[in-house]
């Protein structure tokens, strides 16, 4: 039975990490800028606790700790660590749990720079990565080796949107002593409760929905006490620093993440359904749609869906035609990242090695923002007319 005293997520989003009494009654945890932090005595200097106290700006300020506390609270982890970027969080997580001779299993649908870090950096240090079909489920057991230390997941993949059976993967990984990492940027701490699904380290590009306004870069790692020290050691050795101003912006963004996500979800679903009926569309890759092959997994594991999805057009279009479509949009703009209030659209081609990705048409990834869905539909409608006129 649910604990009646346990606050709901909406309440946690609003109250997590706040400590007005320690800050002159100020509601929002203030921005503490710091490098040097003075020790009052030699004994205090000698016994500095980097993991729990504020001892040096690079390793954490009160602003950073407030953000970490709030994100961990919402997701249901014990502790969190903020990093300079989402990719910074990924590299800290991967390096913290590997040594020369180890093996990583990474989903073929992983965010491309995570994949590149494994292939281009970890490989130089004798850590081998092999890629697996995201839809493998419990079949991952056959790929786990004695030296596999990490099974890395991303559900849904943020370009191709395959859903992964995380509990089945986690069961197989844990049976062989490997830990499960998950890039939870799409699910957010609100919509995928990582630790109830068997995930050990949850990775967020806070740059996206947590910051929510496309104006700061930040990563957050969330974990249980069992793995915190290992993760913290990796973080501390990495030189990663979460800038206090950006932590403040992320914490400010977090307060409204719940209401923003409701609107992202509603708009995305409206557009996804509209797109499904368009002749220019071959397939809509949005897990919240009943037609999505991973819909049942999404329904089982997620508490909501967000604003990012892809479509496969009815055929492959060259850049002249795509340019005619995309160059003149009023609301959808082209740019990296997602999770802000604004709508974005980009063509994409995922690099694959474990699975065959050969769609019948061009992939376009949309981030559906907070504009009115009728206006977004009108923008897409006009874009399709330009696409057809150009072909
Ligand atoms: C799924 C996913 N993970 C991680 C990242 C990396 O985040 P950042 O840009 O903050 O380094 C991104 C960025 O686009 C992303 O889409």
Taking the mean position of all CA atoms in its chain, how far away is CA 46? Answer: 38
Q: Which atom of ligand 1 is nearest to the CA of 158?
A: 1
Cβ count within 10 A of residue 169: 31
How high is the pLDDT of residue 348? 94
Q: Which atom of ligand 1 is nearest to the CA of 186?
A: 1
Q: Which residues belong to the active site?
A: 58, 111, 183, 208
Q: Which atom of ligand 1 is nearest to the CA of 207?
A: 10
Residue 82 β-bridge partners: 220
Residues with CB under 6 A from ligand 1: 85-87, 111, 158, 183, 185, 205, 207, 217, 219, 337
Cα–Cα distance for residue pair 84/239, rounded to 1 Å: 9
153: phi then psi, degrees, rounded to nearest 5: -125, 160
| Residue 376 CA: distances (Å) to CA of 120, 271, 321, 368 | 39, 8, 20, 8
Q: What secondary structure does DSSP assign to 261-286, as a single string?
A: HHHHHHHHHHHHHHHHT-TTEEEEE-
How high is the pLDDT of residue 3? 57
How high is the pLDDT of residue 186? 98
Cα–Cα distance for residue pair 90/314, rounded to 1 Å: 35
In sequence order, which residues have a C-beta less than 8 Å from that of residue 173 and are 6 or more positions away? Answer: 140, 144, 148, 151, 179, 180
Q: Is the dihedral of CA 215, 216, 217, 220 positive or negative?
A: negative
Out of 107, 111, 160, give the residue to mutate to test ligand 1, the one with the largest number of ligand atoms within 8 Å of its CB.
Answer: 111
Mean pLDDT by 10 residues, the chain (391 residues): 78 96 96 98 97 96 98 98 98 98 98 98 98 98 98 98 98 98 98 98 98 98 98 97 97 98 98 98 98 98 98 97 98 98 96 92 98 98 98 93
Out of 164, 205, 367, give the residue to mutate to test ligand 1, the one with the largest number of ligand atoms within 8 Å of its CB.
Answer: 205
Q: Is the dihedral of CA 105, 139, 293, 222 positive or negative?
A: negative
How high is the pLDDT of residue 350? 87
If you take atom 6 of ligand 1, which residue's CA is the nearest one? 86
* Nearest partner of 347 among 360, 334, 331, judged by Cα: 334
How high is the pLDDT of residue 1? 45
Which domains does the chain carry?
9-255 (3.40.640.10), 258-389 (3.90.1150.10)
């Amino acid at each position: 039975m649910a604990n009646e005293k346990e606050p709901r997520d909406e309440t946690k989003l609003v109250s997590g990490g706040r400590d007005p009494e320690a800050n002159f009654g100020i509601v929002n945890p203030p921005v503490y800028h710091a490098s040097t932090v003075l020790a009052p005595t030699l004994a205090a200097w000698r016994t500095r606790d980097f993991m729990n106290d504020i001892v040096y700006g690079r390793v954490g300020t009160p602003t950073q700790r407030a953000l970490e506390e709030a994100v961990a609270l919402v997701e249901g982890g014990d502790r969190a660590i903020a990093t300079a970027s989402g990719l910074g969080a990924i590299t800290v997580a991967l390096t913290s749990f590997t040594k020369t001779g180890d093996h990583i299993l990474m989903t073929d649908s992983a965010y491309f720079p995570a994949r590149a870090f494994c292939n281009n950096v970890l490989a130089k240090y004798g850590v081998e990565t092999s890629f697996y079909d995201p839809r493998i489920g419990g079949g991952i057991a056959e790929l786990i080796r004695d030296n596999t230390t990490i099974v890395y997941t991303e559900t849904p993949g943020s370009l191709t949107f395959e859903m992964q059976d995380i509990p089945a993967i986690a069961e197989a990984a844990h049976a062989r002593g490997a830990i499960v990492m998950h890039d939870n940027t799409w699910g957010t701490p609100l919509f995928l409760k990582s630790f109830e699904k068997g995930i050990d380290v949850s990775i967020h590009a806070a740059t996206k929905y947590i910051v929510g306004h496309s104006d700061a870069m930040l990563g957050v790692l969330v974990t249980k006490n069992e793995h915190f020290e290992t993760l913290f050691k990796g973080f501390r050795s990495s030189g990663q620093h979460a800038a206090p101003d950006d932590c403040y912006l992320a914490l400010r963004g977090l307060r409204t993440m719940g209401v923003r996500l409701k609107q992202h979800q509603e708009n995305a679903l409206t557009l996804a359904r509209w797109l499904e009926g368009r002749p220019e569309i071959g397939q809509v890759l949005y897990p919240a749609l009943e037609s999505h092959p991973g819909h049942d997994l999404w329904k089982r594991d997620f508490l909501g869906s967000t604003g990012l999805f892809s479509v496969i057009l009815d055929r492959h279009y060259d850049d002249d035609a795509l340019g005619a479509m995309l160059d003149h949009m009023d609301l959808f703009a082209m740019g990296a990242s997602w999770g802000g209030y604004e709508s974005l659209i980009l063509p994409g081609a995922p690099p694959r090695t474990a699975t065959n990705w050969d769609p019948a048409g061009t992939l376009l990834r949309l981030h559906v923002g907070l504009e009115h869905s009728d206006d977004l539909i009108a923008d897409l409608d006009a874009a399709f007319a330009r696409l057809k006129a150009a072909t």
